[in-house]
Amino acid sequence: MDLHFSPEHETFRQEIQAFLSTNWQFEKDAKPAPEAIKAFRQLATEQGYLYRGVPKNYGGGEQPADVLKAQIIAQEFRRAGAPTEVLGVGTQMLVPTLLECGEEWQRERFVRKTIEGEYRWCQGYSEPNSGSDLASLRTRGELVGDEWVINGQKVWTSYARDANYMFALVRTEPEAPKHAGLSYLLIDLNQPGIDIRPLKQINGGTEFNEVFLENVRTPASWIVGPRGGGWKVSRSLLKHERNMIGSLDRSDALFASLLGLARRVQRDGAPALQDSAVRDRLAMLAGHLEVQRYSNYIQLTRESRGQSAGLLQMLNKLSQSNFGHLVAQTSLDLVQNDALLTGAPGRKLGNERWMNQYMGSLASSIAGGTSNIQRNIIAERGLGLPRDAANPTGEAS
Ligand SMILES: Cc1cc2nc3c(=O)[nH]c(=O)nc-3n(C[C@H](O)[C@H](O)[C@H](O)COP(=O)(O)OP(=O)(O)OC[C@H]3O[C@@H](n4cnc5c(N)ncnc54)[C@H](O)[C@@H]3O)c2cc1C
């Protein structure tokens, strides 16, 4: 097995390095002005390095699919500390979905402004009694004249207060079987009837929200996919969300910071890195990381041949969440009581940021479908085990 990049790809890497050294000259810890970041993103997009899957007429970089080039861009941009695509559910989930399932006017109306950061989206899926069993959701959408009128409640809606739009799964066909009764609607959040209430988290943050919708209106044409076809559209979105969560880059960066921590923290007068128990755990984690790396390579190979990655995406998301949790546990053992400090406003976080990592690692085993549900699906569809009696639909949110 030859895991080297081809000469063509190595030449491409040099091209990227040259582009970055000319156009991104900030130090890694620098805080460039938002205008500088925006201008850089625009240039990188025009060169075809960012938003490669988005056609130029919607503001993208429009390049033929090449997962290896995409990988090289990600590696080199990360190494240079340069801004990559705007993160968030708008760019990472909605845009690919509109390209796959949306109508032409919807792409023209929403894609460019989303990747430029003007339209910020939140995801309205989960409801108080519908998480893993998402298809049971009850928020109603009724077509009245040329508008959908929406009533119900969403929960765990990340960053809803920063968003100006929501993509939501809504029950529009109450008589149909549960999966066939859902439609995928786009909703402007800036209107009467929307009540967004922050949920305070155990780590003090308030990224989550409850969103109450009372007689909220959206044009009849703001539906993605056919009426009653929202479940299929939402599956396409989750595929993108799992890709987002399962990225190997994140695991690499996390492990590098854990190693840095083990070098800095002292144990019995020497860096913790020299302690045999710590080394043992780090070696075990390095093993996990390598397994993830090769699993990602298999995914890349399949995708570069135009084949579906199948359940591998799900496996990679699962192993990335597990890895994040194991790294966080190890880091807490290293920083010990320091993890209990709370960050002063405006001050850069010190070792206490590992507590956030720990809390975040628990969250990522829930977001985008819980690890339990992922295991069920892998067991049933990957290993051919009998269906879980408690979840006869075999689907997770
Ligand atoms: C960080 C984060 C961000 C999120 N952002 C959003 C967002 O922006 N928009 C949005 O709509 N939602 C969001 N969510 C919600 C998320 O999608 C749900 O929390 C998730 O789908 C689980 O649903 P639930 O919380 O209702 O748990 P439940 O479905 O009630 O599950 C509770 C527990 O029971 C287990 N369980 C349930 N059914 C089974 C089964 N059949 N077999 C085995 N175990 C089972 C689960 O694994 C879990 O451990 C977010 C969640 C997190 C943590």
What pLDDT digit, counting tens, does each position of 109-144 carry?
999 999 999 999 999 999 999 999 999 999 999 999
What are the residue numbers of the active site?
241
C-alpha of 48 from chain center: 22
Place 243 in a pLDDT band, splitting at 50, 70 and 90.
low
Look up tokens 């805080």; give the residue: 31
Place 390 in a pLDDT band, splitting at 50, 70 and 90.
low
Ligand 1 contacts CB of residue 251 (under 6 A): no
Q: Which residue has the higher pLDDT, 87 or 192?
A: 192
Q: Which residue has the higher pLDDT, 325 or 355?
A: 325
Average pLDDT of the residues of the chain: 89
Ligand 1 contacts CB of residue 126 (under 6 A): yes
Ligand 1 contacts CB of residue 88 (under 6 A): no
pLDDT value at residue 345: 62
pLDDT value at residue 296: 81
Residue range 241-268: mean pLDDT, rounded: 80
Ligand 1 contacts CB of residue 380 (under 6 A): no
Ligand 1 pocket check: which of 120, 156, 158, 318 to mutate, most ligand atoms within 8 Å of Cβ?
Answer: 156
**∠ CA 317-167-86, rounded to 5°:** 60
Would you say residue 60 has pLDDT above 60? yes
Measured from the CA of 126, which atom of ligand 1 is nearest?
A: 11
Would you say residue 245 has pLDDT above 60? no
Would you say residue 237 has pLDDT above 70? no
Lowest mean pLDDT among 43-52, 84-93, 241-250, 257-266: 241-250
pLDDT value at residue 258: 95
Ligand 1 contacts CB of residue 373 (under 6 A): yes
Lowest mean pLDDT among 33-37, 43-47, 208-212, 366-370: 366-370
Residue range 235-262: mean pLDDT, rounded: 74
Cα dist from 349 to 119, 166, 340, 352, 389, whole Å: 30, 32, 12, 7, 46
pLDDT value at residue 384: 92
Ligand 1 contacts CB of residue 203 (under 6 A): no
Ligand 1 centroid to 332 CA: how many Å? 25
The answer to whether the Cα torsion of 96, 101, 104, 110 is positive or negative is: negative
pLDDT tens profile 290-311: 998 888 878 877 877 778 778 8
Place 391 in a pLDDT band, splitting at 50, 70 and 90.
low
Ligand 1 centroid to 132 CA: how many Å? 5
**Phi and psi at residue 140, to the nearest 5°:** -100, 140
Ligand 1 pocket check: which of 132, 371, 377 to mutate, most ligand atoms within 8 Å of Cβ?
Answer: 132
Would you say residue 278 has pLDDT above 90? yes
**Which domains does the chain possess?**
7-85 (no CATH), 119-228 (2.40.110.10), 246-365 (1.20.140.10)
Instruction: Give the pair of three-digit tokens for residue 19.
Output: 């582009």
Residue range 156-185: mean pLDDT, rounded: 97
Query: Hey, is 213 helix, strand or coil?
Result: strand
Q: How far apart are CA 219 and CA 215, in angstroms?
A: 13
Residues 156 and 208 sit within 8 Å (Cβ to Cβ):
yes
Ligand 1 contacts CB of residue 63 (under 6 A): no
Would you say residue 29 has pLDDT above 70? yes
Closest residue by Cα to atom 2, ligand 1, is 367
Residue range 358-375: mean pLDDT, rounded: 89
Place 393 in a pLDDT band, splitting at 50, 70 and 90.
very low
Ligand 1 pocket check: which of 87, 93, 125, 126 to mutate, most ligand atoms within 8 Å of Cβ?
Answer: 126
CB atoms within 10 A of CB 50: 25
Would you say residue 244 has pLDDT above 70? no
Place 346 in a pLDDT band, splitting at 50, 70 and 90.
low
Residue range 355-373: mean pLDDT, rounded: 88
pLDDT value at residue 87: 86
Ligand 1 centroid to 133 CA: how many Å? 9
**∠ CA 228-234-238, rounded to 5°:** 165
Q: Which residues contact 316 (CB under 8 A, 6 or more apart)?
A: 242, 246, 248, 292, 295, 296, 299
pLDDT value at residue 218: 98
